């Protein structure tokens, strides 16, 4: 599978996810629109926590689950990248 | 028979719970619980699956009023729920998000807060009544029920509060990252507050920024009920919160340097609870003071040649401690580690034997074993599994397994192998599995 039309940030983020969560997959195999949690990559809330720390350190964006958009933000690589783009401080 | 009121040390207009939708007073809570109690079906056991802590408490109180036992499953995995509902036939599920559990009758928690019911007395509950059943994983592959009387739950809450120096009228604001269906969560985030007149946040924060905003919102001195995992995340993000709170951690040992950092950064005392679902919380320590655990008032830990047993007036029989411990003559003890079959992943304990049994029940799986590698650099070290299942892919097996186990126990990775290194007697020594894991990790790299 190829990341059709993945942006640079999406590709960097895919690498960060794979590295942080030690997933045994090629970052390029994460489809930008596919689900990250539950059935998709099978990630859980501990992964979300680990990922939030990595995102905060890398992009200076602190995720909040009280954010009304949180479900959407974590729905796919693309949605997460968009949220980071909008909120990043580094 | 002795009776203890459902809640203690509140005035009717005190805040019992709060969240972004505002405060819930004691008056409102009693009305919500009484109103829900009237509408519950006539059954003897209920699976309370509410995700909101206030909804859970309303459901728990309503069930107690109707003399129904609340079942506390270790996970929401569909097969776990079905199995528990099967063992306690006639069980129904209480949910708060309109979730329907396939194969189990579900009732949605409605908060009617019927003011017409007021004035009402606070119900008094006999201490010998079984009000909750916590489940643990044994080596049989079946969830083992542990019955909790009202006397046991209230005794642990009183003893914990006394040890932490919480007094009636302290009005702490309690925020908890732990689920209330877990034993420690039930004890520290539900029972401890309602026995001491404290206010609880109805939500369950995950990210450090959530924890920060909830603690900053607290109307009084805060108390954070949490785990080493969440505490590490808060320290690593250096969140800034009002000083002078109280942190209570459990589910896994808290490293002393992390406790030290948290005490300094948050200007808060960090205490830990040692316990397990079979006996509940049994001991406490302020982590920076040292390794020794001080049993809670009324708890006695006795060591003989082969095992350690916990005794307390509210436990019907002495309960074996699932960890290896050494008890000193003064009754304090040191924990050395888990018994061989038990693993702890992100604060959730399970028996490897139990997990292996689940694996073997999957169609097409001929042999299989779970393994917990040495701790690495990440927040949580995940399990691995090696499976012999010709013709099956690891994705197929994972998909089936997901219906049976909590997500934290899902193996990363699940590796399909031609055979397992069983010895002549058919046993699978831990060293052999460890070697298999080492070879696999060496071949595949650690991914980092």
pLDDT tens string B297-315: 999 999 887 789 999 999 9
Amino acid B448: pLDDT: 39
**Mean pLDDT, chain B, whole residue set:** 91
Spell B355-377 as b/e; 16+ CB within 10 A means b: bbbbbeebeebebbbbbbbeeee
Mutation for B interface: A23, A40, A49, most B CBs within 10 A: A49
Q: Which pLDDT value is given to residue B185?
A: 96
* A42 touching B (Cβ < 8 Å): yes
What mean pLDDT do residues B177-198 have?
Answer: 96
Nearest CB neighbour to B446, from listed A22, A42, A46? A22
Mean pLDDT of B249-265: 92
Return the percentage of chain B with pLDDT > 70, whole number.
97
pLDDT band (50, 70, 90) for residue B351: confident
> Selecting from 3.30.460.10, 3.50.50.60, 3.40.630.30, 3.30.300.30, what CATH number does the domain B342-444 have?
3.30.300.30
Compute CA distances B178 → B29, B172, B174, B187, B219, whole Å. 22, 17, 12, 11, 21
CA angle B286, B263, B23 (to 5 degrees): 95
Q: Which residues in chain B have their CB less than 8 angstroms from residue A48's CB? A: 206-207
Interstrand relation of B333-338 and B294-295 (parallel, antiparallel or unpaired):
unpaired
Domain boundaries in chain A?
A: 8-87
Judge whether residue B119 has pLDDT over 70.
Answer: no
pLDDT score of B368? 92
- Mean pLDDT is lowest, of A58-62, B96-100, B402-406, for B96-100
Distance, CA of B288 to chain centre: 24
Mean pLDDT of B99-103: 85
**Average pLDDT of span B367-389:** 87
Quick check: A54 contacting B, CB < 8 Å?
A: no
Q: What integer pLDDT is reported at residue B116 of this predicted model?
A: 62
Q: Residue A1: its pLDDT value, please? A: 46
Residue A76 clears pLDDT 60, i.e. is over it: yes
Residue ranges per domain, chain B? Answer: 3-338, 342-444
A contacts of B410 (beta carbons < 8 Å): 42, 44
Q: Which residue of A has its CA nearest to B233?
A: A53
pLDDT in tens, B17-66: 999 999 999 999 999 999 999 999 999 999 999 999 999 999 999 999 99
Q: B401: nearest CA in chain A? A: A42
State whether B207 and A63 contact (CB < 8 Å): yes
| Alpha carbon distance A39, B160 (integer Å) | 40
Closest by Cβ to A50, choosing from B378, B398, B448: B378
pLDDT at B118 over 70: no
**Pairwise CA distance, residues B193 & B131, whole Å:** 17
* pLDDT of B82 over the 50 cut: yes
Which of A62-66, B14-18, B149-153, B247-251 has the weakest average pLDDT?
A: A62-66
Q: Please give the pLDDT value at position B140.
A: 59
- Would an 8 Å CB–CB cutoff place A86 in contact with chain B? no
For B3-338, CATH number?
A: 3.40.50.12780
Q: What is the ipTM of this complex?
A: 0.88
Q: Are B210 and A66 within 8 A, CB to CB?
A: yes
Residue with tokens 């040692």: B274
CA-based R_g, chain B, Å? 22
**Residue A4 has what pLDDT?**
57
* DSSP strand pairing (B222-226 vs B246-249): parallel
pLDDT one-digit tens code per residue, A19-74: 888 787 889 999 999 888 876 677 888 889 999 999 999 999 999 887 777 888 88
B88 CA to chain A: closest CA distance, Å? 29
Chain B residues whose CB is inside 8 A of the A1 CB are: none
Q: What is the topology classification, in CATH, of domain A8-87? A: 1.10.1200
Closest-CA residue of chain B to A21: B378
For residue A51, the chain B residue with the least C-alpha distance is B207
- Assess A44–B contact: CB distance below 8 Å, yes or no: yes
Question: In this structure, what token pair is assigned to residue A4?
Answer: 């059709």
pLDDT-based confidence at B447, cuts 50/70/90? very low
């Amino acid at each position: 599978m190829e990341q059709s039309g993945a942006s640079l940030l999406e590709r960097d983020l895919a690498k960060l996810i794979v590295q942080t969560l030690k997933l045994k997959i090629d970052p390029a195999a994460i489809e930008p629109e596919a689900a990250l949690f539950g059935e998709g990559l099978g990630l859980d809330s501990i992964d979300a926590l680990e990922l939030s720390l990595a995102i905060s350190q890398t992009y200076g964006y602190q995720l909040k689950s009280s954010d009304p958009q949180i479900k959407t933000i974590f729905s796919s690589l693309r949605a997460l990248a968009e949220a980071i783009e909008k909120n990043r401080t580094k | 028979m002795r009776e203890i009121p459902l809640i203690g040390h509140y005035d009717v207009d005190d805040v019992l719970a709060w969240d972004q939708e505002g405060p819930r007073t004691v008056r409102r809570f009693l009305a919500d619980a009484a109103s829900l109690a009237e509408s519950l079906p006539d059954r003897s056991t209920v699976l309370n699956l509410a995700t909101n802590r206030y909804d859970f408490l309303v459901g728990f109180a309503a069930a107690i009023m109707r003399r129904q036992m609340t079942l506390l499953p270790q996970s929401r995995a569909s097969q776990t729920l079905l199995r528990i509902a099967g063992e306690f036939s006639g069980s129904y599920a209480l949910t708060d998000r309109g979730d329907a559990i396939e194969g189990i009758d579900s009732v949605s928690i409605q908060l009617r807060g019927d003011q017409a019911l007021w004035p009402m007395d606070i119900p008094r509950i006999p201490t010998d009544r079984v009000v909750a059943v916590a489940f643990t994983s044994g080596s049989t592959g079946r969830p083992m029920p542990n019955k909790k009387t009202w006397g046991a739950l209230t005794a642990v809450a009183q003893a914990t509060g006394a040890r932490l120096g919480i007094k009636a009228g302290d009005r702490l604001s309690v925020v908890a990252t732990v689920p209330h269906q877990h034993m420690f969560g039930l004890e520290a985030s539900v029972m401890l507050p309602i026995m001491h007149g404290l206010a609880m946040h109805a939500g369950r924060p995950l990210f450090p920024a959530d924890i920060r905003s909830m603690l900053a919102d607290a109307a009084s001195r805060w108390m954070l009920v949490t785990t080493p995992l969440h505490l590490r995340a808060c320290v690593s993000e250096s969140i800034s919160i009002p000083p002078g709170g109280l942190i209570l951690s459990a589910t896994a040992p808290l490293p002393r340097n992390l406790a030290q950092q948290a005490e300094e950064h948050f200007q808060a005392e960090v205490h830990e609870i040692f316990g397990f679902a079979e006996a509940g919380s049994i001991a406490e320590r302020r982590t920076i003071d040292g390794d020794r655990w001080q049993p809670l008032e009324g708890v006695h830990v006795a060591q003989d040649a082969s095992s350690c047993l916990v005794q307390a007036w509210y436990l019907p029989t002495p309960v074996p401690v699932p960890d290896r411990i050494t008890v000193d003559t003064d009754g304090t003890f040191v924990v050395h580690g888990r018994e061989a079959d038990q693993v702890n992943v992100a604060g959730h304990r399970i028996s490897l034997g139990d997990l292996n049994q689940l694996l073997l029940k999957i169609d097409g799986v001929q042999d299989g074993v779970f393994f917990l590698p040495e701790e690495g650099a990440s927040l949580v070290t995940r399990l691995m599994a090696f499976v012999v299942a010709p013709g099956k892919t690891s994705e197929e097996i994972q998909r089936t397994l997901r219906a049976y186990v909590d997500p934290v126990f899902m193996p990363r990775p699940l590796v399909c192998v031609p055979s397992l290194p069983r010895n002549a007697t058919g046993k699978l020594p831990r060293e052999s599995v460890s070697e298999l894991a080492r070879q696999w990790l060496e071949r595949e790299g650690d991914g980092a």
